[in-house]
Every structure is written in structure tokens, then in C-alpha cells.
Chain A
Amino acid sequence: MSMSETTGQPSFVIMQIGKRHFALPSDIVVELAPPVRLHRFPHTSPLLAGVIVRRGRIVPVYDAASVLVGNSAFTQRFYLIARRRPGKSADFGAIPVNGECELASGEVLAPAPDRPVYVTGSLAFNDELIDVLDFSALAALNAPSGSQPRSAEIPS
């Protein structure tokens, strides 16, 4: 039974990226994976850092930190694997996270008008208001804008 069923409020997985916390709806989260090897190869999708292999699947890794906290620190301890779309889609993506994740529930407040499109609201967590993310909107930032291959920028 999920927390949302218990409390009647939506539940979220709270993740730490850099020094900030963010929330993802728990129904799209698949697992928190250990820091397995990141495989890199040339590509031009700007938000992707590479792929990991997890449970027989090749899962693309989104460098969410570059968008959310402005740097791309690959000193993460875990990968949070989530579905890019709600439901039973097998379209998975992984986000490197810096610390343990927690489950929380609560009412989501409407986002401030100046928040980016991938922020769907705010959630009170440990005396702070944290952004609730729309993973598919965040992943949509991945559309290539130029022809400079990503792997040329990040040495493996």
C-alpha cells in the first residue's frame, strides 16, 4: 500500500541533487540504483550523460543537475530510475542523486509564475519548500539544439 493510499495525499520521492532537494511523484519512480558504471559514447542529445545497465536494461542517464542546480557533478551516490511518463511505460530514465531518497506526502502548492515548465508545484519538506518535478518536461529539454556532440565535452 502506498503512502498516498494511507493519507489520501499524493506521495513523492524526495531526492538530493547538489545541495538542494527536489520531489518526483512516487508513482513514476522505479528504483534507487547504486552508482553503477556510466557508459559514455558520442551523441548530440544535450541533457544525456550516457547510459547505465540495470536489470538487463540500458537506461539513459539525464544530467539533471546541470539544469536544476547549474552544475554537472558526477559525484553522485545513487541513480534514481523513473519512468519518463506515468503509467506502466518502460521508457525509463535515470537521474544521478547525491544522497539517500525519502518518501514524503503532502499537498502540492501551485508553482510560482516564474518557475520553469518542469516544476509542477511546491511541496513542504523539512521546513523548506521544494520543487516538484515533471520528469517528462525535464526530459523534453533534451532535444538537440546544436551539432556539438556531448561526449566531446565530457571526458570519460
Chain B
Amino acid sequence: MNQTNDSAAKLRRVRHPERVILFFVSNQMFAIAAEAVQEIRSTDSLAGAAAEIENSALPKVRHTIERGRHTFYVVNGCMHFGLPVTRPTLVLILRQLRVVVLVDRIDRMAEIPAVYSLPAAFEGDERRWYRGLAYLDDTVIPVIDPSGFLAASEFQQLDRAAKAAAAATDSELEGAVQA
């Protein structure tokens, strides 16, 4: 075992404290950087603005929301993490990503002293889901990587489907006007 591998295997910490939002999805607590969240709203307040995606290729994305001439995709947090599906009451509208995440509830804002890297033993999708782990109040909390909610290929897939749906709606309207 050489020194490089040794140091790679050690826990790495981002040593500056960070403000996070602690939230629950299906009774599981997660942390997300406060600066990654643009807005928190109730699902009720978005009910009129959300459009349903018919036959979505991604089961975790069933709705879109138009904001500032951009289409945001609504990701069900339970389905994303493979947790039992609950009835979400809040949405996190992410900053710099066209993603809205359905969550159960917000616990609180907190400052975490460090983000520990995910142990190398974790080899699955969780490497995409999490930036690392936080240790707060004797609890290990996964720290979300916002870009892990939808991969670039998933955005492309959803954008293509949204474009096709919009084109179909336009042609239906055209047909109705001609009739």
C-alpha cells in the first residue's frame, strides 16, 4: 500500500463550516447546502403551476413547473432515494439547476463543521447522490449533491419529451382553430 492510496482512503474533510438545510424525506434526514436552495414553498402553492408529464420515462419526475421561461423538473425525493413514498408537503426549488425536489418537511437550518467524504465502500448510486456525510448532534447525515438529482442525460431526455409534448399540443391547437 503506497502513501497515495493510504491518504486517498483516509477520511477527507472540507474544513470550513457550512450552513445547511436539514430536511426529511420519508423519515430520513438529509442535509443540503443552504446556498444550493433558491426557495422553499408548499406543494399547495405550486398546485396550479405544475404541469403533469404524461408517460414520463423517469418515474421520479412526473411534473414540470415553468419559472422565468425555463422548465423545471419536479423530482420526487422518496422515489429518487428509493424510500417508501409519502405525501410531500414542501418543495425545494434549487438554485442554478432546473430541479424542484418534493420533500416531507424541513427540520431546521444548521451549521455543520465539516463534510466527510463518503467511505469508499459505498460504490453505488449514493456516490452520485451525496457530496459526503455530516456528523451533527451524534447523527450521521448524508449531505446531498444537488446535481445528483438529475443527470445531464436525464435532463436531455426530459427536455426532448417536453419539446415533443409542446409540439403535439401546438398541432392540436392548430387543428382546433382550423376546424
Contact = CB atoms under 8 A, between A and B. Distances in A.
Interface residues on A, range: 20 to 34
Interface string B9-37: 11100000000000000001010000000
Contacts of A59: 119
B125 A51 contact: no
A39 B5 CA distance: 26
Nearest to A46: B124
Nearest to B29: A41
Contacts of A152: 82-84
Interface in A20-40: 37, 39
Contacts of A91: 9, 119-121
A96 interface: no
A45 B126 contact: yes
Contact of B142 (A42, A57, A142, A144): A42
Contact of B9 (A44, A89, A144): A89
A14 interface: no
Contacts of A89: 1, 5-6, 9
Given A42-B82, A51-B140, A143 B123 contact: yes
Interface string A49-91: 0010100011110100000000000000000000011111111
B137 to A, nearest CB: 12
Contacts of A151: 28, 81-83
A18 interface: no
A44 B126 contact: yes
B32 to A, nearest CB: 14
Contacts of B1: 85-89
B123 A144 contact: yes
A85 B141 CA distance: 27
Contacts of A48: 121-122
Contacts of A42: 28, 81-83, 126, 129, 142
Report, nearest first, the 7 A-B pairs whose CB atoms are least far apart: A149-B82, A44-B124, A144-B124, A87-B1, A39-B140, A91-B9, A60-B121
Interface of A: 37, 39, 41-45, 48, 51, 53, 57-60, 62, 84-91, 93, 139, 142-144, 147-149, 151-152, 156
